[in-house]
Amino acid sequence: MRLKMLAAAAALALGVGSAQAQISGNTIKIGVLSDMSSLYADIGGPGSVVAAKMAVEDWEKMHHPKFKIEVVSGDHLNKPDVGAQIARKWYDEEGVDVIVDTPNSGVALAVSQVTREKNKAFIGSGPGSSDLTGSKCSPNTIHWVYDTWMLANGTGTAVVKHGGNTWFFITADYAFGHALERDTTNAVEKAGGKVLGSVKVPLNTQDFSSFLLQAQASKAKIIGLANAGGDTINSIKQAAEFGIVKGGQNLAGLLVFISDVHGIGLEKAQGLILTANFYWDMNDKTRAWSKRFAKLDNNKMPTMVQAGVYTSVLEYLNAVNAIHSDDGGKVIAQMKKKPFDDPLFGKSRVREDGRNIHDAYLFQVKTPAESKGPYDYYKLLATIPADEAFRPLKDGGCPLVK
Amino acid sequence: MTTLFGISVPALMGQLLIGLINGSFYALLSLGLAVIFGLLNIINFTHGAQYMVGAFVAWFLLDKAGLGYWWALLLVPIVLAAVGVLIERLMLKHLYKLDHLYGLLLTFGLALIFEGVFTKRFGSAGLPYSIPDKLSGGYNLGFMFLPTYRAWVIAASLVICLGTWFMIERTKLGSYLRAATENPSMVQAFGVNVPRMVTLTYGLGVGLAGLAGVFAAPIYQVSPQMGSSLIIVVFAVVVIGGMGSIMGSIVTGFGLGIIEGLTKYFYPEASNTVIFVIMAIVLMVRPQGLFGQR
Amino acid sequence: MATDAKPQHEEAAQPLVSRDELWEARYHRNGFVALFAILVVAPAVVYPVFLMNALCFALFACAFNLLLGFGGLLSFGHAMFLGMAGYVSAYAARSWGLTPELAILAGTATATALGVVSGLIAIRRQGIYFAMITLALAQMVFFFCLQAPFTGGEDGIQTGPRGKLLGLLPLSDSTAMYYTVLAIFAFGFFLIYRIIHSPFGQVLKAIRDNEPRAVSLGYRAERYKLAAFIMSAALSGLAGATKAIVFQQASLTDVHWTMSGEVVLMTLVGGLGTVFGPVVGAFVLIAMESYLSELGAWFTVAEGVIFVACVLAFRRGILGEIEAWLRRRRHRR
């Protein structure tokens, strides 16, 4: 009799236990938090929402899940307080389970903290600061596509090897710019170069003239642009206006997206060396997906951030499906379990510190003569294998790494 | 690198020249504000937004009608003046009998409306506007490469500023304007249509803002926030120069641009605050401004 | 700045307190009861974080109204008190490990000190010049906050989890935090009410209405104005410091000059020179901001439209109009 009761109790307990691994409201809600209206809108922005929705559609077709999937979006206006408030409201009030994209490292760092507090998930394809998997790493965050260490050691090292051994930085004055300047300085000095100085510029500055003049006065061979998006476009255009390159100095765009090259034009952008993890014209898979994307996004080819949003949503949904839970910490842990074959980025693996590693590529912008049409902008100079492209696990200072 | 007492002359000259360019915009915009305040006693917070709209109209003319820079220089001030006349007739004229601060609040609200509408429509990243061909290229001055367009901005602003000053201080029309604000009833009794003068004056000030917007389009990028970042600095310029004094704002505008340039060279961190520090000091010591009389 | 409509006080003949004043006192008492009854039960129905945000801004607007509505001084730089207090409070909580109430105290003290310094500079001037000086000072504070290392510049300060009130009550629970904020708001609100209805407040109003006459009666107008300015600064700082603890962050948004404009709008919409007006104005605007946030820039447009409408046609604000109507109704009887 007692044995039967014990068995029944055990069965009940097991039943209750397994019921706890469930998906709240039988809905998975994905929040695309991005810069929808300002200098990073073309890098992520509405295009990221398109990518997320494509991922949901494709995944649902493949897996026919029993739960519903919804996508919501929000504009963080490049302000960490706005981003954090939206994140809190989404997590508390609207049942959002995961936030993706988030270009702007300041916002991403704030959102990462809120996500950890609420035990949700954050998969950032947009931000750059390597601190997201370094001193500020979190068990609820994955840094999906690129980071400042990768850019610094890709572009920075290559440029020094080509002879650009004295540098002056024009730096966007916030988390991303600071991290990029710091990581590039380390890479340049390791390669035998020297940094002569730097100037901090407010985000979304329209007029770079006085900063470019300071760079010119330093007589450094390379003016490193530790900024992105609209800032990079303006810096490069105005540098042409002030005859900087004619005067013998060269610009190094440390973070350049295909949308930027499109905005600057090949005439002014040709010869720029840049590091990226995705280019629409790399192989058949990327070409096919990118053409689908372009049809949905005003004929614009996807940036690596938008491609990252697509695959991060796919992998997130795979993990949710595998453990049948939307518990943030558990899903992120599941995503770290095995290496996987990313449809757009190739062989990938998420490390303990939350860093997703895959190959990086050194590209150079084509000359107008070499380009056969719109968005035919890059030629491949070199491939950096995944294990070398990113900062070694032990160097990050992440408390999660033992 | 030539140095004089440890100062790199080329670098310093470069920053001074940039400062002069910025100063041209300060002078042009504070001129419009000073005209409006000096003659109408209205604090036109919308001035920055009107400057922004001017730049956008120039962009529209190029993008939609294929009308380039030179057309814009002519048409934009007229369009903006018309906008100004509308604002004055519909809204501002009701506030003249009230405390000045209501005018400030109304124009502040209008600035928010303009900025919000344009941000909604165009995002906040900025639209490109290319430098007109006749003004592209530049001069190699040895210590820096001066783009032709920026030299043009300095020259043209000076001409317009001095021209406006001349018109207001030295011509008959100007004297009517000045009399009408000092003693409206008497001037009205002489048969001058005072309300119309007031409206036209506001239109003139706004037109000047629009013109500054056209000048700015090729170098500062056409963006909905371009006015709000500038308006506070321009206020400071007007206050320092003397809120009613037209020559005061011209001199102070160029002067403060140069001071900002100097500060960028010697003490870059303070370059944003130096204008406000000067404004606070002037307000404490001589509140009517350097050139104002009150 | 004189408002259009002012309460008409009958000459107190025989009774020590006029009938009008009795009516006002009763109206205020009823208002308090209604207001706090609603606020006490509200978190059951409305998102508590929204309520806390609105309460902090309500306190800010009340503090601003003390200076503008009752003191007649338009400051265009009040953001410096809100924001600076927020930064110090957030920094104290994160880097010095202070408990929330001590962090808030530190922030408030900073705002008070800033109020003393800026008040001494600004109070010598009147009207538009006063507004311009406060704007200049606020801009200096803004650029200081942009560049000082401790504020984190564009990134702001993130404090991490909220900590325990007095070392005992964990504030990470939204309910506990809400009632704490409500208590702080109540304290500030009643303090301002007492100030307004004290002899000091009466003199302040007299100076607002007719400064030369007040001076001729022997009152040192500058001292009163300076005192009002400092009190307004301190309470704005209390609002900012509390807000930083609630949201666990401090950012440049709170020291930007557009924030100074927003508090003017809240006070104007709610009703300048009324007791409850700023509270209503703050709730209206924060509600608009939260529930219209998907519309992005339309919110800025809406703010502008409300400004224009208020200035042209609706100068008394929501509560000003309500109170005027109530008084008309009363006198008609």
Position A198 in a domain: yes
Nearest-Cα residue of chain B relative to residue C304 = B109
Same domain, A293 and A248: no
Does the beta-carbon distance from C249 to A84 stay under 8 Å? yes
For chains A and C, what is the number of CB pairs under 8 angstroms?
56
pLDDT of residue A269: 87
pTM of structure? 0.87
pLDDT tens across C158-202, in order? 887 888 888 788 888 888 899 999 999 999 999 999 999 999 999
Position A11 in a domain: no
For chain B, the residues whose C-beta falls within 8 A of a C-beta of chain A are 1, 8, 10-11, 14-15, 18, 21, 119, 123-126, 128, 131, 138, 140, 144-145, 147, 149-150, 219-221, 223, 225-226, 261, 264, 268
pLDDT of residue C82: 97
CATH number (domain holding residue A36): 3.40.50.2300
Name the maximum alpha-carbon separation found in chain B: 67
Query: Per-residue pLDDT for C227 more than 80?
Result: yes
Domain ranges across chain C: 48-256
- Of A363, A337, A361, which is closest to residue A349 (Cα–Cα)? A337
Compute and round to an integer the Cα radius of gyration of chain C: 20
pLDDT of residue A1: 52
Query: Per-residue pLDDT for C13 more than 60?
Result: no
Does the beta-carbon distance from A75 to C161 stay under 8 Å? no
Query: Per-residue pLDDT for C261 more than 70?
Result: yes
Tokens 């294998």 found at: A385
HSE-CB of B181 using CA atoms within 13 angstroms: 22
Positions in chain A whose pLDDT score sits under 50: 13-20
Identify which of B219, B223, B264 has the shortest CB distance to residue A210: B264
Residues of chain B contacting C305 with CB distance shorter than 8 Å: 109, 113
Task: Identify whether the C-beta of residue A173 lies closer than 8 Å to the C-beta of residue C154.
Answer: yes
pLDDT of residue A17: 43
The secondary structure of C245-304, three-state, reads HHHCEECHHHHCHHHHHHHHHHHHHHCCCCCCHHHHHHHHHHHHHHHCHHHCCHHHHHHH
pLDDT of residue C81: 97
Does the beta-carbon distance from C161 to A117 stay under 8 Å? yes
Scanning C131-170 for CB atoms below 8 A from B yields 131-133, 135-137, 139-140, 143-144, 146-147
What's the domain range around A173? Answer: 149-276+360-389
User: Can you say how many angstroms the Cα of residue A186 is from the centroid of all Cα atoms in its chain?
Assistant: 21
Nearest-Cα residue of chain C relative to residue B90 = C312
- ∠ CA B211-B216-B219, nearest 5°, is 155
Interacting residues of C188 by C-beta distance below 8 A, sequence separation 6+: C59, C62, C63, C235, C238, C239
> What ipTM does this complex have?
0.85
Same domain, A105 and A80: yes
pLDDT of residue B7: 65
Task: Identify whether the C-beta of residue A304 lies closer than 8 Å to the C-beta of residue A277.
Answer: yes
Q: Give the residue with greater pLDDT, A293 vs B286.
A: A293
For chain B, the residues whose C-beta falls within 8 A of a C-beta of chain C are 43, 91, 94-95, 99-102, 104-106, 108-117, 119-120, 228, 232, 235-236, 239, 243, 269, 272-273, 276-277, 279-280, 283-284, 287
Domain ranges across chain B: 7-226
Same domain, A239 and A162: yes
Q: How confident is the model at residue B130 (pLDDT cuts 50, 70, 90)?
A: confident
Task: Identify whether the C-beta of residue A65 lies closer than 8 Å to the C-beta of residue A26.
Answer: no
Chain length of chain B: 294
Question: Which subunits sit against B, judged by 3+ Cβ pairs under 8 A?
Answer: A, C
Does the beta-carbon distance from C158 to A110 stay under 8 Å? yes
Dihedral (Cα; A145, A294, A97, A277), 10-degree rounding: -10
C28: left (phi over 0), alpha (psi -120 to 50) or beta: alpha
pLDDT of residue B3: 59
Pairing of strands A250-253, A222-226: parallel
One-letter amino acid at A54 equals M
pLDDT of residue A139: 95
Identify which of C124, C147, C307 has the shortest CB distance to residue B112: C307
Measure the CA–CA gap between B238 and B289, rounded to whole angstroms. 8
Position A66 in a domain: yes
Measure the CA–CA gap between B105 and C308, rounded to whole angstroms. 8
Q: How confident is the model at residue B259 (pLDDT cuts 50, 70, 90)?
A: very high
Residue of B283, B285, B288, B294 to mutate when probing chain C, most C C-beta within 10 A: B283
Q: Give the residue with greater pLDDT, C331 vs A143.
A: A143
Q: How many domains is chain A partitioned into structurally?
A: 2
Does the beta-carbon distance from A106 to C154 stay under 8 Å? yes
Residues of chain C contacting B232 with CB distance shorter than 8 Å: 135, 139, 257
Does the beta-carbon distance from A174 to C154 stay under 8 Å? yes
Task: Identify whether the C-beta of residue B50 lies closer than 8 Å to the C-beta of residue B77.
Answer: no
pLDDT tens across B132-171, in order? 888 888 888 777 778 889 899 999 999 999 999 998 888 8
Residues of chain B contacting C77 with CB distance shorter than 8 Å: none
Does the beta-carbon distance from B220 to A207 stay under 8 Å? yes
The per-residue DSSP string of A302-335 comes to: PPHHHHHHHHHHHHHHHHHHHHT---HHHHHHHH
